[in-house]
Amino acid sequence: MAAAPSEPPKTDAPLHVAIVMDGNGRWAKRRGLPRSLGHRAGVEALKRTVAVAPELGIKWLTVFGFSTENWSRPAAEVSELMALPKRYFESDLARLEREGVRVRCWGRRQGLSADLVKMLTDAEARTAHNEVFNLNIAFNYGGQADIVDAARRFAEEVAAGRADPADLNEAVFTQHLSTGAAPPPDMIIRPSGEQRLSNFLLWEAAYAEFIFQDVLWPDFNAEHLKAAIEEYRRRDRRYGGAAADDVLAAG
């Protein structure tokens, strides 16, 4: 929830950083490699980012792995993208579990293979007791789809007599989203030079700071993350309130 303007949130508070992992294809193309190798290099960038994030005051890290719109890519590329969670969890899940990282997988399970659903569900279950750090992987996720699914869930509760339409408010709606357990993102980083949200965290991004960087995701490293946080710290977050100086001047 947004803080009242008289109590600006501390900009040194633990951060929720969300990242649109973009630019894998261009990274591969520049090297004359198949796009699949760009996606694999993207997984390495994810590993680096997860490793360094806790040291930078980040408590929540959310990454966009596969969007509900990515199904329109060629079948071979979709298969490669579908194989990435396995690639990542096989090499890293045991360590995440040991180091206190809680993994959540956001997005629709429908449309994913039974194996993949099991893998995502297992990763969540194995780390459900962890609380040092939170890693959310948005996979088969779309902001609009998630809002529609939340609306459907609430409507089903009403139809079953378990909820009353008069009780619906922003907080209740948020709880029905697949992202509901997390605080809203403080900043959304998009590398690769593209400057759009692409259906990521539409509801949750209401007061997020946007940071666009000219680096392709497979080249993303700790320095890019530090630079993004430094830029974020310089921003004046107002949540619809007035700037602190103007409030003083208005007396």
Point out which span in 16-24, 97-105, 154-162, 199-207 binds Mg ion (CB under 5 A). 16-24
Residue with tokens 């298969």: 79
Catalytic pick from 70, 134, 136, 140? Answer: 70
Instruction: Yes or no: say if 176 and 152 are a contact pair by the CB < 8 Å rule.
Output: no
Residue 75: count of CB within 10 angstroms of its CB: 8
The full length of the chain comes to: 251
Binding mask 106-145 for ligand IPE (x = CB under 6 A): ----------------------------------------
Asked if 80 touches Mg ion (CB under 5 A), the answer is: no
**Chain centroid offset of residue 203 CA:** 12
Span near Mg ion by CB under 5 A; candidates 8-16, 19-27, 80-88, 115-123: 19-27
Cβ neighbour number for residue 158 with a 10 Å cutoff: 14
Measured at the CA of 212, the angle between CA 208 and CA 217, to 5 degrees, comes to 115
Residue 24 near which of ligand IPE, Mg ion, none (CB within 5-8 Å, type-dependent) = ligand IPE
Contacting ligand IPE (CB under 6 A), which of 15, 17, 23, 36? 23
**Distance from C-alpha of 16 to C-alpha of 185, rounded to nearest angstrom:** 5
Q: Which of 22, 92, 146, 186 is catalytic?
A: 22
By C-beta, is 68 or 150 nearer to ligand IPE?
68
The total of other beta-carbon atoms located within 10 Å of residue 96's CB is 21
**Is 167 tagged catalytic?**
no
> What is the footprint of ligand IPE within residues 163-222 (CB under 6 A)?
192
Q: Measured from the CB of residue 70, what is the shortest distance to ligand IPE in angstroms?
A: 5
Comparing CB distances to ligand IPE, the nearer of 71 and 239 is: 71
What minimum distance in Å lies between the beta carbon of 123 and ligand IPE?
Answer: 18
Computed over its alpha carbons, how large is the radius of gyration of the chain? 19
Residues 48-107 that bind ligand IPE (CB under 6 A): 66, 70, 81
For residue 9, what are its two tokens?
């949130």
Near Mg ion by CB under 5 A: residue from 15, 16, 17, 22? 22
Q: Do residues 104 and 181 touch, judged by C-beta distance below 8 A?
A: yes
The yes-or-no answer on residue 22 being catalytic is: yes
E-assigned strand segments in 9-95: 15-20, 58-67
Residues lying near ligand IPE in the complex (CB under 6 A) are found at 21-26, 66, 70, 81, 192
